Structure 1
């Protein structure tokens, strides 16, 4: 429990994978929580929204960070700029600003989640940046706990998704040398246990701590263990020395949902052995009840969560939503120049509730209710261009939340039972949205579907007119098939993959 149940924790990265899971656990432990986020709208539909204070701000904004730290006791630093160019410089500046703001506000503890790394030798750019952020926060003058984890195993984590899809889709594989490096994975539940416990560390404790689970394995052993837990045949692996990190990241971009922008830093981190050099954290924070979770149990737990649709957060949650300076599709014509639209509308005898169930369940394994080959081809093209493709899937098979990823879309607006706006995150020369709405009509429901595209430059205009002939097949097929599913008719071509 928090001291007197009233200590205030500021959580940065609350819209991300770890931060989104940490907040409810801090609340359950008696802390008050303030979330500093760039896009508060992304937290609108999370179950704990009404229990926290949400502040809009960017970690590169000195004033916003100072305001967020005002009156706080603990600052959780759970952000990084991994998918942006020059992320090392951005993270260094953000950590400097956060440390200074925390000191000026009288914060008594900073908690940062970094990565396990060797104490000597050359580090990848990703690990070097994470280590530098930790050092910057330690020099801030505020007592800081730098928790350093290797591979985090949990439903929805990028590391777990990479492991899962590589193992499930490749019964035999040519493997680079790094799969023989040792790794000390840790279950996400144990990471959260240490994060919560770090809030009560005594002020004289200010240092890095390696945190890891009870098992040390090679990445190849992790894949074989995953196969055994998932009930798959034993995986065959042929090690070779010619697969560079760049080639490995391209392969992961094709095989797994994890895009190259994330896969590359993860692979670079595995080039170094990721094993705890110490576990001194045990002197300050006891193990969770029942002990630390072994790798096999962590995999089994993650798979059960996925099968039951109980994934709290996913790695894709942290991707950016819309930039505030870009026009929304509902803005007047003059706000964004040329706007292309494809609008479809139909009336059905099915109830609005039945239609909405289909609309909210769209994507993922349910597909997009139209010309699956076209969606699949466009998804592959997007992956080859370094985009997210279709394979991010969805967090929950039936329910959506504002701000979460849905295949290559982002849920930008959700009005339960009547309206869904998706913003495209595929590689296109412009900005694209898809809006689906449902309303009562004549004892049934009216379904309206609107695709919106704001081109960027001449290439954007050429792109729209090049794909326009396919709109009749793609968008034209969606409306009757969605309504067919709502009416209980068999829809044989709903899948997109």
Structure 2
């Protein structure tokens, strides 16, 4: 009978990064044990898989910590790079790769797996962009380490959270008309993150005599312009007007990207410099060792749909409890950079309520229809009339049950998307908007035992019009969202006979038990 000790142990560096953080659960699902090497182990504490792996402290440039982490390891994944750390990142990458290869050889590691960058055919390494040159050099160092090594070379990875994909997303969504650098004509062979992870996991089982690099890519070869146009088509945006000009150098391009997107310039600049190179697979030998299952490799359009699926299903609205549901490899993670996952505007309101949680919940569950509307009827009606004028549902659908809510119920122009009885209601707007909108209402209790009402409005804009819509209405958010939170709290207090709606109990009355516990 196989025990956990019989399963091969994989070492993953870069588990806090985009690929590493998604590879760990895939390795666990494939039956491997996993050890993660991290400079700051505490940063992995909130990962959904944290309790299933061993985390050790160390740095790839420190031989002692890497050597200790290699003990008992069968397969070592090198998924770190110094991109974004400023000048000298090539030296850091070089030093880390040498330490990693030397320590892996000394520990008897069976295989190293490295994810590098796809390089253009016929271009000497010295003429590559610094980003691609460093990736290529790291691959060569690991291949010469004496440990059988698999180097996977990929171009643009399509998945929410990938820096290259986020650049593509923001540029396309925010600019209906673009004056672009000439590199938008460069041919690229993108690959879905699901295929990258599948090939990384499969590489662990390669025969011992395999020590080489493999080009990996999806089925489509596209220019960057093609990718922007196809992204717009998948998302449903109007066709983008793209006007390439030759005067934008890589340096100017990175500043242009920095103005339009939230991707940091320290990352955007080396990526845009690399886009001047044509990166297309020259071979597909990887399939000899890791065969493609049905439906793979995933095409560009489907990869984009998968990358955006979480947004469509409202998973962007992270639960108040921060409980992590099962995620697909292309989903964003809570630990991704703040600029990943597309734009999500948030209006957060929180108020103490001098009434028991049950009283507040009754008000939340009874919102809308004939029971009352928050914000006041005038604001509600004006928005409904505007929606009806453009063919929407308006605000007069009411609700099926005056006292109970169920998932799928309509509440005026909202629809119940999620409900946790006594705790949380999430509504999705059914009205016509240039984007997706949700409203969350939450019943909580603070550390002192006081009831608290939390309200969060979220808006995922669709194109430039969506961004404009949010910011044009932002001066009225205090009236709409603030008024709604205030009215719900006051209604709960009046219904329970407590408070004045401003956080203080009424004169001459005894505070509710929840208030009394505050001291």
Which residue in 2 is equivalent to 1:106? 108
2:129 to 112, 124, 127: 124
Cα RMSD after superposing both structures: 3.2
Partner of residue 446, structure 2: 439
3-state DSSP class of the match of 2:101?
helix
Deviations 1:335-385 (A, max 9, x none): xxxxxxxxxx98543779999xxxxxxxxxxxxxxxxxxxxxxxxxxxxxx
Return the alpha-carbon distance in structure 1 between the equivalents of residues 110 and 245 of structure 2: 50
* Gaps in structure 2 of 5+ consecutive residues: 316-326, 340-349, 362-422, 424-443, 455-477, 492-519
Equivalent residues of 1:73, 1:107 under 8 A apart: yes
Q: How do 1:377-416 and structure 2 match up within 5 A? A: none
> Which SS does the other structure have where 2:214 is aligned?
strand
Query: Over alpha carbons, which structure has the higher Rg?
Result: 2
Say how many residue pairs are matched.
354
* Separation (CA, whole Å) in 1 of partners of 2:217 and 2:50: 31
SS of corresponding position for 1:271: coil
Give the 5 Å matches for 1:38-437. 38-85=39-86, 86-121=88-123, 122-308=127-313, 309=315, 311-313=331-333, 316-317=336-337, 348-349=353-354
Cα distance in 2 for partners of 1:32, 1:276 equals 32
State how far apart, in whole Å, the 2-side matches of 1:317 and 1:109 are.
30
CA distance in 2, matches of 1:489, 1:303: 39
Does the 8 Å CA contact 2:34/2:53 hold for their aligned counterparts?
A: yes
| 1:238 partner SS | strand
SS at match of 1:135: helix
The offset of 1:314, in angstroms, is: 7.4
- The Cα offsets for residues 250-287 of structure 1, whole Å up to 9 and x where unpaired, read as 11111112111111111111110011111111111101
Change (3 A) 1:223 1:13: same
SS at structure 2 position matched to 1:215 = coil
**Cα distance, 1:289 vs. partner?**
3.3
Structure 1: give runs of 5+ residues left out of the alignment.
Answer: 320-344, 356-416, 418-436, 448-476, 491-497
Asked if structure 1 preserves the Cα contact closer than 8 Å seen for 2:11 and 2:73, the reply is: yes
Distance of aligned partners of 1:299 and 1:314 in 2 relative to their CA distance in 1, 3 Å threshold = farther
1:95 touches 1:137 (CA, 8 Å); kept in 2? Answer: yes
What do the CA deviations read for 1:457-496 (whole angstroms, capped 9, x no partner)?
Answer: xxxxxxxxxxxxxxxxxxxx9xx96994796589xxxxxx
TM-score normalised to structure 1 length? 0.66
Whether the aligned pair in 2 keeps the contact of 1:157 and 1:314 (CA below 8 Å) is no
Q: Which residue of 2 aligns with 1:14?
A: 15
Cα offset for 1:120? 3.0
1:292-321 C-alpha deviation (Å, 9 max, x unpaired):
1000110111111233326343794499xx
Residues 155 and 314 in structure 1, CA contact (< 8 A), matched pair in contact too: no
Contact 2:78 2:115 in 1 (8 A): yes
SS of match in other structure, 2:18:
coil
Aligned residue for 1:399?
none
Kindly tell me: are residues 101 and 177 of structure 1, through their superposed partners in 2, closer, same or farther at Cα, counting changes over 3 Å?
same
| Alpha carbons 1:2, 1:31 under 8 Å: kept | no
* Aligned 8 A contact 1:16 1:314 in 2: no
